[in-house]
Structure formats: structure tokens, C-alpha cells
Amino acid sequence: MKNVARKTIGVAVAGTILFFIIRNLVSGLAELDAVHFNVRPWRIVGSFLMLAILFPVYGRLWQYILAKMGYVVSFGQSMRIWFLSQAGRYVPGKIWFALGRVYLCERAGVPRGAAAVAMGLELALVLASAIVAFGIAAVISPALARREYLFGLVLVPVAVAAVHPAVIRAVLRKLGRLPEDFELSYPDILKILGFYVICWGIYGVGFHLIGTAFWVSGSPPEFYSSGVRVLPEMIGVNALAWAGGLLSVVTPAGLGVREGISGVLLSGLVEKPYPSLIPLVARLWITAAELGTIGILLLVRGRK
């Protein structure tokens, strides 16, 4: 009886998540339906190849964080935990993502408390690395040297200092979540942070490729033919917009928030309507990739 109830709840949750994912896709496609596009297929393929490189790195980093917490899971388990829980982001409120991650970790032998701490550490490092990536882009590219970007640059040392083990221990102690065997050193944390910064670089390349794969009828604007000269800006914009979407606790998967931040930042790089169009295309791109990855993981799991 308990197993039946668990499966029923699982199906209900999965159905709810699927509904919101499909609704997001349908809404985005409806907005694009009235626009006539020119397409560069090789850039679309390249953008998905970037995600094919990126997604396993996310799974490996989650595996590494758990290992540093004292819990060993296989790479396959780590991928399933990370990506299946990501589906919860498409439901309004971040609680479904968190509950899903903790539940899947518990099934893999990681206690709830340790899973919650590891997840909090991961989110802190992802946010800090997004700020660092944005700051690096602001230094590299003069086009980002505006007030908004300089503000992000000032936050870089704050973000790096905020993930110091002493700060993390103090926060966990305050929350009553400090594990007795918490032994992550600052070099370990900086190593993980550095890899997440590299991840933002890979993600940004994909964002640049998908963002320049479409243009409205006519000849492509200068922005679309400028090659890698705008790549630092695209990496920085994508990282900061994603971080803003993550902090949004109401909208599913940062819907609207991420696009709004991207639109504001892109407005200084490209003419209308592209500051609004690029984030929308990118939303469909990442949703399709995540949904496809989740489907593959479920299919592989079902065959075992």
C-alpha cells in the first residue's frame, strides 16, 4: 500500500512538472509563431553540442560535492539526481526542486540533512561563479563597462569571500545544519568555483550560438555577423540573467526574470527586437535540452 501511494504521488508530481514544461514551450512557440525567421542550422547544432559538453560536467561537480561531504555516488546516480530534480524548477516555487533533490539523494544513500547542505553549497557556488563570470566579462569587454556591469564587477570579491569555509560554517551553524564531518577546505571550494566559472563560459558559447542562429527577415544585423567579438558580453549577460532567475522564488525556472535581465543587458549590444527575441529563443533552447536529457535518463533507468 505504501509503495502504491508513493508511485501515485510520483506520477502526480511528474505530471504537474510535465504540464508546466509543456506550457512554457507552447507559450514561447506561440510568441514566435508570427515572426518570420532566417536560420543558421549549424549554429543551432553547435549550441546543443555545448550543452552536451556542459550537462555531464554539472553531474560530475555534484558528484564531487557529495564526495567531499563524505558520500560516494556513481556518476550515473549523480546525473539522475541532478537532472531529475532540475525538472522541479519548472513548477512555481523552488520547493519542488529542493524536495526532489533531497528525495533522490536519500534513495541513493545520502541522508536528507547532508543532501540539503550539499545543495545549499552548490547553489551558493553557482551564484558566486555567475557573478565572477560576469565580472571577468566586464573586464575583458569595454562594451560592458556601464554602471550595471561595474556593479557586478564590484560584487566579485564579495562573492569569492562569501564562499569561504568560515562563512559557510557560520551560516550552517546558524541554521542548525552544520555537519560534524564538514571538512571542505577553501582550496576545494575555489576549485569547484573555478569549474563553475568554466561552465558559464561553455554555457555562454552556447547562448551566443543560439542567440545568433536566428534573425528576422532581411539581412542579418551587424551583431549577428560580429563573430566572437561579442562572446564575452554574451557569457556575462547569460550568467547574470541566470543567477537572477535562480533567485526568483515565484516564477518557474526563473521565467520572465531571466528574460527581463537579459533584455536590459542586451539592449546595449543589439538593436530591437533582438534584446527581447534572443532570451525567448534561448529559453526554448535550454528547456528542450533539459527535457531531452531528463527523458534520456528516465529511459536508461527504465531499461535497467
Q: What is the pTM of this model?
A: 0.81
Hunting for cell 516564477 — which residue is that?
251
Whether residue 196 is predicted with pLDDT greater than 60 in this model: the reply is yes
Per-residue pLDDT tens digits for 217-249: 666 666 666 656 778 888 988 998 888 877 765
- DSSP-assigned letter for residue 91: S
| Dist CA 18 CA 24 (whole Å) | 10
Cβ(177)–Cβ(117) under 8 Å? yes
The two beta strands, 214-216 and 37-39, are antiparallel
Average pLDDT in the 289-303 region? 76
CA 255 to chain centre: 12
Query: Using one digit for the tens of pLDDT, what is the confidence trace for 145-194?
Result: 555 556 666 777 888 888 888 888 887 777 767 666 667 788 889 999 99
Strand residues in 40-167 grouped as ranges (E): none
Please enumerate in sequence order all residues whose Cβ is within 8 A of that of 36, keeping only pairs 6 or more positions apart, or say none.
Answer: 216, 217
Cβ-based neighbours of 142, under 8 Å, separated by 6 or more: none
**pLDDT digit string, tens, across residues 65-79:** 998 888 899 998 999
Whole-angstrom distance, CA of residue 74 vs CA of residue 85: 17
pLDDT at 199: 95
